[in-house]
Structure 1
């Protein structure tokens, strides 16, 4: 009998923000798939799990390069799913760990789609996790939205011709993975008079966590990939 496949969100970085359900599943599975961007580099998701779960003999590392080349991405996604399917056919219980929540801008989504397309017989369970922007808002004691405010979530590593319009339309905006376009985003926030009501967070919940409202101090810097800005139309009343 084929094993069950789990997609497990392990939260934004603080091991204490892993859910009890995530820990229970990772304790019981036979294989934990740990995504990483290249060989020889540590998996951030695994570094979180290692603090609360005994992973010895369970780890299967999967490479997912950071690139916008779709052919290259397809190659690695398909190879990863091949490896997962091989374990499932042996009756192994397999978990795929991912930062934050598995169904929000996560590599797990592409693995999930391929598994579902290849076989309807695979039993799949997705376990939600704490989103990075929820943890960042909590770290700054700043509400994401209140009363009738609207909230947008943007993967800011991509280019948007209509970013000004998005920022102007929604009361509050989460700009995820903002490092690549940070200076441009800050310029737009200043133009829309939102900069003073915005804040930046990187590596939330980890020892190297950085939280600041002084966006100008970061202009021109090489910022961490796991960083975001929460931009607000209005300040606190």
Structure 2
């Protein structure tokens, strides 16, 4: 019997924002794969999904290096791939959990690429990205009319970020934890700071909202932080 691999987006943090399809699949699978980094013991994605898991579900933790290009750390990725393949060959139904949406800046994308030509069925279940949840939570329209929205990873080349922000109407800035201060400066330069807001750990118990980004620009920012901004 052949196994099946599911990639499930668990959304930004609130367990009630999971889709009905995601919940139904998680109740049926044999194994949950919970991704984590080397520096953290737990899995945020797993904590979000846990209310819907079977009591006897098998949970497999896999460590994924935080690198820009996964090809640069092939050993860890191959180890995880082989572990997944062994479970699939044993006929297991596996759900890989990921924050937000599986096809949006997700570790799952790399896992999917490693498995897509291995002959096993794969189904990807979409989830709500953090910036969509933040917009709804704060009553902050992401785009209106003919607005152009740019989604920018703050870890990108600073000059490239400035070029995009110079021509776009609205921005979503993700991964702002590494260079928050310089991102705030760029928002000021592009006259977006007055309409900028940041939410950290959206939907989780320790969620934090920062509206005055300039006053907080030297603050250490949580990894799960997203900025929404638009021009005056």
Q: Normalising to structure 2: TM-score of the pair? A: 0.95
On the 8 A contact 2:154/2:161 being kept in 1, the answer is: no
Alignment RMSD: 1.5
Change (3 A) 1:55 1:166: farther
Q: Aligned residue for 2:197?
A: 199
Deviations 1:61-118 (CA, angstroms, capped at 9, x unpaired):
100122347555322222111111000000001110000000000000000001013x
In 2, the alpha carbon distance for the partners of 1:157 and 1:63 equals: 21
In 2, the alpha carbon distance for the partners of 1:199 and 1:40 equals: 27
In 1, the alpha carbon distance for the partners of 2:59 and 2:42 equals: 12
Q: Aligned residue for 1:149?
A: 147
Unaligned stretches of 5+ in structure 1?
A: none
Q: Aligned residue for 1:167?
A: 165
On the 8 A contact 2:9/2:101 being kept in 1, the answer is: yes
Matched, 1:182 2:180: yes
In 2, the alpha carbon distance for the partners of 1:74 and 1:66 equals: 12
Q: Aligned residue for 1:51?
A: 51
Matches within 5 A, 1:19-34: 19-34=19-34
In 1, the alpha carbon distance for the partners of 2:142 and 2:158 equals: 22
On the 8 A contact 1:140/1:211 being kept in 2, the answer is: no
Q: Aligned residue for 2:217?
A: 219
Q: Normalising to structure 1: TM-score of the pair? A: 0.93
How many residues align? The count is 232
Matches within 5 A, 1:1-237: 1-38=1-38, 41-54=41-54, 56-68=56-68, 70=70, 73-117=73-117, 119=118, 121-234=119-232
